[in-house]
Chain A
Amino acid sequence: MRIPLKGLVLVWGIALAIVLVSPLVLETVGGGGEAHAGKKKAKKIKAPSVKKRPSLSFRPGVSRQSPKYQGKVGVLQLRDRRGFKFYGGSDAFFKEPTMEALNNALYLGTKSGRAFTQVMQVPVKPGSRMTRDELKAIAQQYGLDYILLTDLTIFTMLREKMVARKKGMDFTVKVRFGLFAQLIDPQSGAILWAEPVVREMGQLNATKKVRADAYGDSANNAVKTVLIDMATSMHAIGLQVRQ
Chain B
Amino acid sequence: MKHLFSIFTLCVLTLAIAAPLQAKDKFLKSKGQELGYREAGSFANNAEKRDIMVGAEFLSKSEQKRLLGDQSSKFAVLEVAISNNSRFRLYVNDIALVDGGNQMVLEDVSLDDVAKATGPSGSGNKNAMRLSILRNNLIDKSLQASVVLPGETIQGLVFARNKGRGQGLELRVDIQNLKRLVYLDVVVPLDQ
A interface residues with partner B (beta carbon < 8 Å) = 2-3, 8, 11-12, 15-16, 19-20, 40-44, 81, 83-85, 88-89, 128-132, 135, 151, 153-154, 156, 158-161, 164-169, 171, 176, 180, 182, 184, 188-191, 194-196
Answer yes or no: B135 CB below 8 A from chain A CBs. yes
A166–B112 Cα gap in the complex (Å)?
A: 23
B interface residues with partner A (beta carbon < 8 Å) = 3, 6-7, 10-11, 13-15, 17-18, 20, 22, 25, 28, 31, 89, 91, 93-94, 110-113, 115-116, 122-129, 131-133, 135-136, 138-139, 142, 144-147, 174, 178-183
Minimum distance in angstroms from A203 CB to a CB of chain B = 15
Minimum distance in angstroms from A205 CB to a CB of chain B = 10
Question: Could you say which of A153, A156, A169, A189 contacts B145, with CB atoms under 8 Å apart?
Answer: A153
- Cβ B125 vs Cβ A168 within 8 A: yes
Question: Could you say which of B110, B124, B126, B181 contacts A84, with CB atoms under 8 Å apart?
Answer: B110
- Interfacial chain A residues near B6, Cβ < 8 Å: 8
- Cβ A128 vs Cβ B147 within 8 A: no
- Cβ B178 vs Cβ A84 within 8 A: no
- Cβ B10 vs Cβ A15 within 8 A: yes
Minimum distance in angstroms from B12 CB to a CB of chain A = 11
Given contacts A8-B7, A84-B138, 19 further A-B contacts (CB under 8 A): A12-B10, A15-B14, A16-B14, A44-B128, A83-B110, A83-B138, A83-B142, A88-B112, A128-B94, A128-B174, A129-B183, A158-B139, A159-B131, A161-B125, A164-B31, A168-B125, A176-B139, A180-B147, A191-B178
- Cβ A11 vs Cβ B125 within 8 A: no
A93–B41 Cα gap in the complex (Å)?
A: 43
- Cβ A85 vs Cβ B132 within 8 A: no
Rank and list the top 6 A-B pairs by shortest CB-CB distance, nearest first. Answer: A83-B111, A42-B128, A89-B112, A189-B181, A19-B18, A166-B126
